[in-house]
Structure 1
Amino acid sequence: MLNRWEDIVEVPLPLPFALKEIKAYLFMGENGVTIVDTGLNIEQDFTVWESVMEELGITWSDLDKIVLTHYHPDHYGLAGRIQQLAGGIPVHISQVDFQQARLFWDRDSKMAQDLASAFRRHGLDESVVRQIPEHLASFIPWIEPHPNPTFLRAGSKIQLGDRTYKVIHTPGHADGHLSFYDPEREWLIGGDFLLPRITPNISMWPNCDKNPLQSYMKTLEKMESLPVKRVFSSHGPMFENYQERIEQIRRHHEGRLKLMQDFVETEGRVSATEVCDHVFGKDLSIHNIRFALSETLAHLEYLRNNQQLEVERAGKRYFYVPAR
């Protein structure tokens, strides 16, 4: 039985990660059906879409567009395949995030080498660094083919099903992350901007936002005053405690910043990997190491940009030290 709220149908799609599921959404309209986020290009997710569409009595030809909150594989992966099946319907995404999809997942991209170099500078063991290129390459089949994009601008409006939504730029989790707001119902389609049970991963990647946690904290501040009765997020159930959840996540990051700053001040001189081990523990999978170290760097760089920490270089290695 699918969860449904008026015209919005929740579509749970399985993921082969510790995060077991993504929630995509169908917006049912008289003149067409809109998909928001797609899951991975894996047969398990594609089969779910076929089953859901059969249950709802619709076909690929009933789709009018695909809308993507951001470029991460679990949101973006099936967009190109579904676009082809649906006769070339528009795939809407921010320009920044389409560029980053190509940056991360093009077969000739240098992102894997850049990320390996960054992690090496910040103290990650070479035996783990060597796994990065193969790990990133493993995602490529899950997102190909890339869609032919139509770029969305923040502040514009878009039809999802039969209703008009405001397009809002909500960066932090991804540089070009978009959320969609129905002002009449005060409903927010939030993607990974705000999640009910876990905190969105805020990571610093090469060639992307240099201070993503600051961007995210500004997003929380900007969005806090928006009147929201329901949030439809990508991981976890629909929820209604919008302002409370914003405050909970803000406090979470403030606590993590204090934990990291205290550790640097106690130790005196540490690598980002040492901070990561202190906060997240050791013996993580390569998938979790990538996110844990990148999130650690996002917090450390936030502190450095606020003059609460400094960076020292020793040869090709970087270390964080207390601010003088």
Structure 2
Amino acid sequence: MTHGPGDSPEPRSVGAGGLHFPYSEPPAPGTALPVAPGVLWLRMPLPFALDHINLWVLEDGDGWTLVDTGIATDETRALWDQLLAGPLRGRPARRLICTHFHPDHMGLSGWLTERLGVTLWASLTEWAFGRQLAAMSDPEFAAISRGLYARAGCGDDLLDLVERRGNPYRSRVVPHPLSVRRLMNGTDVRIGEADWRVVTGHGHSPDHVGLWCPHRRLLISGDQVLPRISPNVSVWPTEPDADPLSLFLSSLHHWRASIDDDVLVLPSHGLPFRGLHARLGVLLHHHDSRLDETVDLCREGPRSAMDLLPHLFRRELDDHQLFFALGETLAHLHHLASQDRLSRAVGADGVERFRAC
């Protein structure tokens, strides 16, 4: 889950899973650290247990291409002001690329594109999904959320919390741009003197964009591949019957077949690393034990998602983490049902329960 532990310093070391970390410390907020010729690493704070996001700036001729924005807070805006007046001064921005719609990645897209006079580049699905979610009122989002979470077995206390939370996405973004330049899987984007290949992924978000530069052996992986934690793969109220875990695992196979292993991976969280294929292998099997445990628990009798959650997530969860954990539990259940390892039925109380086949 992307709200897991942060990274730890490992100067040019070999970490878990045989990954190599060429940089031991991230840049301080408001500063830029070169990580490859023409590539700058920025870091913005987040108000969550996962407390940071990495952003990337690419030399683009006499200007810059920006990748991702940070969340829509006054603190993030102030840090952008500092960067634009400091290490990025003297070169105009050419475009803003957002890997996906999540607020830490697209939250300030409207503010930055308007301020800098540039176009947002993103997959059409991510832009459109972010636009519609930001436009959804608190009552509308609460209504579809109550439907999903009541079916998952949540009690009145949690359903009341759903009402109080409303639509948390709206509070973490500014309105996204009204138009977009579409990025599609397999197409190339010319940035400076190099072509960057668009490689899309699914499961963590609908049509997540990664950028691979074969010539420079670099991969901007967004959230699709992280060095220390598995990205959150959840069922959400906007698509209550989705099977995102199957999509995520299929995407990992696609990335392993499409991208060379000897790249420097620039992830959205954690430290840059080498060892892409080893990390993809770990992520492909990361969910195996939890899937097996879910089936074993469902052999004991029909279980709802809320029945299973405390067995699968044994640590204390805050409100933000709780809904991520519940979404991940549902993702595991839907994946197992798609494989005919579980059957599902909705009871007279409206709660969906799963039983081992």
| Equivalence for 2:135 | 106
| Equivalence for 2:246 | 214
Aligned counterparts of 1:31 and 1:136: Cα–Cα separation in 2: 44
* Residue of structure 2 aligned with 1:64, choices 76, 94, 107: 94
| C-alpha distance after superposition, 1:25-45 (max 9, x if no partner) | 111222320110000111111
* C-alpha deviation, 1:52, in angstroms: 2.2
* % identical equivalent positions: 28
Determine if the alignment matches structure 1 residue 20 to structure 2 residue 51.
yes
Q: Give the direction of change, closer, same or farther, for the CA distance of 1:137–1:227 in structure 2 (3 Å limit).
A: same
* Residue of structure 1 aligned with 2:112, choices 76, 82, 94: 82
Determine if the alignment matches structure 1 residue 91 to structure 2 residue 123.
no
Q: Tell me, what secondary structure is at the counterpart of 2:287?
A: helix
| Equivalence for 1:319 | 353
| C-alpha distance after superposition, 1:260-313 (max 9, x if no partner) | 111111x21111111111111375222111100001111110000000001121
Q: Does the CA contact (< 8 Å) of 1:28 and 1:161 recur in 2?
A: yes
* C-alpha deviation, 1:161, in angstroms: 4.5
Aligned counterparts of 2:301 and 2:208: Cα–Cα separation in 1: 36
Q: Does the CA contact (< 8 Å) of 2:100 and 2:207 recur in 1?
A: yes
| C-alpha distance after superposition, 1:216-235 (max 9, x if no partner) | 11111111132032111100
Instruction: Specify which structure has the bigger relative contact order, considering alpha-carbon pairs within 8 angstroms and separated by 6 or more residues.
Output: 2
* Residue of structure 2 aligned with 1:137, choices 167, 187, 200: 167
| Equivalence for 1:6 | 37
- Runs of 4+ displaced beyond 4 Å: none
Q: Which amino acid aligns with 1:212?
A: P
Q: Mean alpha-carbon deviation: is it higher for 49-58 or for 192-201?
A: 49-58
Aligned counterparts of 1:144 and 1:134: Cα–Cα separation in 2: 21
Q: Structure 2: any 5+ residue segments left out of the alignment?
A: 1-26
Q: Mean alpha-carbon deviation: is it higher for 117-126 or for 100-109?
A: 100-109
| Equivalence for 2:20 | none
| Equivalence for 2:334 | 301
Q: Does the CA contact (< 8 Å) of 1:31 and 1:162 recur in 2?
A: no
RMSD (CA atoms): 1.8
Q: Give the direction of change, closer, same or farther, for the CA distance of 1:134–1:94 in structure 2 (3 Å limit).
A: farther
Q: Mean alpha-carbon deviation: is it higher for 96-105 or for 13-22?
A: 96-105
Q: Does the CA contact (< 8 Å) of 2:198 and 2:211 recur in 1?
A: yes
TM-score relative to the length of structure 2: 0.85
Q: Which amino acid aligns with 1:272?
A: A
| Equivalence for 2:9 | none
Q: Which amino acid aligns with 1:245?
A: R
Q: Tell me, what secondary structure is at the counterpart of 2:302?
A: coil
Q: Does the CA contact (< 8 Å) of 2:69 and 2:107 recur in 1?
A: yes
* C-alpha deviation, 1:133, in angstroms: 4.1
| C-alpha distance after superposition, 1:73-125 (max 9, x if no partner) | 000001100111012x1101111112221332214373332122101111112
| Equivalence for 1:263 | 297
Aligned counterparts of 1:19 and 1:116: Cα–Cα separation in 2: 26
Q: Structure 1: any 5+ residue segments left out of the alignment?
A: none
Q: Tell me, what secondary structure is at the counterpart of 2:274?
A: coil
Number of aligned residues = 320
Aligned counterparts of 1:101 and 1:123: Cα–Cα separation in 2: 28
* C-alpha deviation, 1:135, in angstroms: 2.5
Q: Tell me, what secondary structure is at the counterpart of 1:25?
A: strand
Q: Give the direction of change, closer, same or farther, for the CA distance of 1:57–1:285 in structure 2 (3 Å limit).
A: closer
Aligned counterparts of 2:236 and 2:129: Cα–Cα separation in 1: 10
Q: Give the direction of change, closer, same or farther, for the CA distance of 1:141–1:111 in structure 2 (3 Å limit).
A: closer
Aligned counterparts of 1:133 and 1:196: Cα–Cα separation in 2: 35
Q: Give the direction of change, closer, same or farther, for the CA distance of 1:282–1:19 in structure 2 (3 Å limit).
A: closer
Q: Does the CA contact (< 8 Å) of 1:195 and 1:236 recur in 2?
A: yes
Counterparts of 1:36-185 in structure 2, within 5 Å, are 36-58=67-89, 62-87=92-117, 89-108=118-137, 110-148=140-178, 149-185=180-216
* Residue of structure 2 aligned with 1:192, choices 204, 208, 223: 223
Aligned counterparts of 1:220 and 1:280: Cα–Cα separation in 2: 24
Q: Does the CA contact (< 8 Å) of 1:135 and 1:287 recur in 2?
A: no
Aligned counterparts of 2:198 and 2:95: Cα–Cα separation in 1: 15
Aligned counterparts of 2:55 and 2:226: Cα–Cα separation in 1: 14
| Equivalence for 1:227 | 260
Q: Tell me, what secondary structure is at the counterpart of 1:40?
A: coil
TM-score relative to the length of structure 1: 0.93
Aligned counterparts of 1:47 and 1:191: Cα–Cα separation in 2: 23
